[in-house]
Amino acid sequence: MSRNDVITQREKVMTEPTRRLPDPIVNADGKLVGRSVLTPEAMKTRGAIAVPSSRVIPVILVPGIMGSNLRATTKRDQPQNKELSAGEPAWRPPNGTLDAVREVSRWKGRNPAQRQRILDGDTLEVDDTGLIVLPRDPEGLEAAEMRNRWWGEVHSDSYGPLLADLHLNLNNTFIRPIFGGNRAPSYHWDKVMKYDRAKWNAADMPALTEAELEKFAQYQYPVYACGYNWIQSNERSVERLKSRVLEIIKFWTDRKFDCKQVILVTHSMGGLVGRACAKQIPDKIAGVVHGVMPALGAPLAYRRIACGTERSAPGAGKLARLQMEGFSDIAGSTPDRTTPVMATACGALELLPNHLYPSPWLFASVKKPDGSIVDVAHLQPSNIYDLYRNYDVWFRVIAPELADPAKKYKGGQEGVKIAIDCAIAQAEKFHTKILDTYYHPNTYAYYGADEDKRSFGVFRWVTEEQHALTEPLNKILPAGRGQASTFTGERYVVIPDAFQSPVRAVVFMPGEQETPGDGTVSQQSGNGPSGKVRRVFRTTGFDHQGSYANDHMLKLTHHLICKIVQEAK
């Protein structure tokens, strides 16, 4: 039977039972090899192998930052990790509650110098040995084959269900009755075609037609993942993804299959990698689906470097707060724990608000007795990158004295500043030269704009010192000298003696998330592709990491992949 024609379960029971065998493997000469096992003669269950189409459009998942498994490099010609043995896991996001408890305990016990040594991007590589969990009814899936498609490179809890869902449903489009009759869309695709598009905030968008599904069913869709070293620059990650795209296309064409293009499905920062890759090889990309991409960067990145990883959010329930606290302990809850990793990690710095992010987004603010917040000064220069490399202002994002507890860089503090300057210059290059405003012409994107999942649309340093409301003081706040606390992230700002001020110092605390989003990416950044792509979907009901676990977004993703295929070569 064709891989895109599935026998209905009702009609299976009318004849001998049928069990789908693992999908055939493609040999180097292009021949398909199916595998089964010998059974007793009394065993009447038939084995069915789904024969795939000779036309292939691979689908490649590109994960977000921290979504790729990393290990200490196994290559002896590269710098070796100072904390881990070759091949030892460096970053494995936890899978399940027990694993999360272990990871929280492990990372809480690591001091800043250990964190810097472990997450030294120059000494790490992508780890393809991560967990792969298949669904209970795998329908042709085999763990060994999925590992060959690099599923083990990405975080299983976050992306495993998505990968399996894409594999099972993209390749099972129609059902065909055994005893004749016209084939019809499978249960899954019938549901996608009839889905309430208001749940995508797209009630005006036409439903998929059966003619579009007919064209879609002419292809097979092998599903791959492409992890990357997210500590290094996205420019290097782009090269890895590009090589992966070309390698996959070559694999199929060498085996006499018709394969010209791939589809990219991206999550979060993976969207930046996917966009830059598509810019280099647009003809090899049939289209792109971007999920919750920080298209213009995120003030959250400023918050995490400058103050540590947030442990709460307005409106977060008890479970959500527990999850945030656990992640904060792993990622680093204070700036002395985040700075040693992120200050020179180009991938992390490339998540800072870029030159296109709506300005101003950084404020000094006063909390009044009634609880309202008043912005009294914006703290940005005209060139945002000048802020990132300014280590003297009290609202600086990076404190060089916290950046090198492991003593990696020569030349003391000047050597550390040079390393940070180089990383920021790379981030600026990636934002302004490599990526800028480019989007593949066949691109769709969705983002979260949920009132219950607040994000940082702007970042506020907030004081309760009411004197800061006065004009003489608020005008001079950007010139104040400051020092960051390594424990709570506050800034103690000393007012220069040359200024006539009623107070000599002001204490500023990190503000809270204030704009609709998904808990990570703000609506301002999520809507960044608007006007530059086929369509942007403003959606709700999920958090950032779980966006592809949301049924509405899964169905939308399938809908959009089908639309992309309509224009494939």
Give residue 564's pLDDT: 98
User: Residue 164 above 70 pLDDT?
Assistant: yes
Give residue 476's pLDDT: 76
Give residue 505's pLDDT: 79
User: Residue 301 above 90 pLDDT?
Assistant: yes
pLDDT band at 495 (very low <50, low <70, confident <90, very high): confident
Residue whose C-alpha is closest to residue 356's, from 218, 529, 476, 108: 529
94's CB contacts (< 8 A; 6+ apart) are 100, 102, 103, 104, 157, 330
* Average pLDDT value over all residues in the chain: 90
User: Residue 515 above 90 pLDDT?
Assistant: yes
User: Residue 434 above 60 pLDDT?
Assistant: yes
Give the span between the Cα atoms of 430 and 272, in whole angstroms: 10
User: In the chain, what percentage of residues exceed pLDDT 90?
Assistant: 77
Give residue 180's pLDDT: 63
B/e letters for 297-317, b = 16+ CB within 10 Å, e = fewer, are bbbbbbbbbbbbbbeebeebe
List pLDDT tens digits, range 150-161.
999 999 999 999
Kindly state the average pLDDT of the residues 124-153: 90
Give residue 92's pLDDT: 96
Cα separations in angstroms, 41 against 16, 44, 45, 48: 14, 7, 10, 17
Length of the chain: 569
Give residue 10's pLDDT: 40
Three-state secondary structure call for residue 2 = strand
Angle between helices 234-254 and 270-280 (to 10 degrees): 60
Low-confidence winner among 152-166, 419-433, 460-474, 494-508 (lowest mean pLDDT): 494-508
User: Residue 497 above 60 pLDDT?
Assistant: yes
Low-confidence winner among 406-415, 442-451, 487-496 (lowest mean pLDDT): 487-496
Give residue 60's pLDDT: 98
Give residue 499's pLDDT: 61
Kindly state the average pLDDT of the residues 158-184: 87
Give the span between the Cα atoms of 336 and 487, in whole angstroms: 8
Give residue 200's pLDDT: 98
User: Residue 521 above 60 pLDDT?
Assistant: yes
Give residue 489's pLDDT: 80
Ordered by start, the domain boundaries in the chain are 60-131+224-456+514-565
Low-confidence winner among 137-146, 212-221, 317-326 (lowest mean pLDDT): 137-146
User: Residue 9 above 50 pLDDT?
Assistant: no
Low-confidence winner among 95-109, 157-171, 332-346, 468-482 (lowest mean pLDDT): 468-482
User: Residue 214 above 70 pLDDT?
Assistant: yes
H or E stretch at 290: strand 285-291
pLDDT band at 27 (very low <50, low <70, confident <90, very high): confident
List pLDDT tens digits, range 527-558.
999 999 999 999 999 999 999 999 999 999 99
Beta-strand (E) ranges in 485-529?
491-494, 505-510, 515-517
Write down the architecture of domain 60-131+224-456+514-565 according to CATH.
3-Layer(aba) Sandwich (3.40)
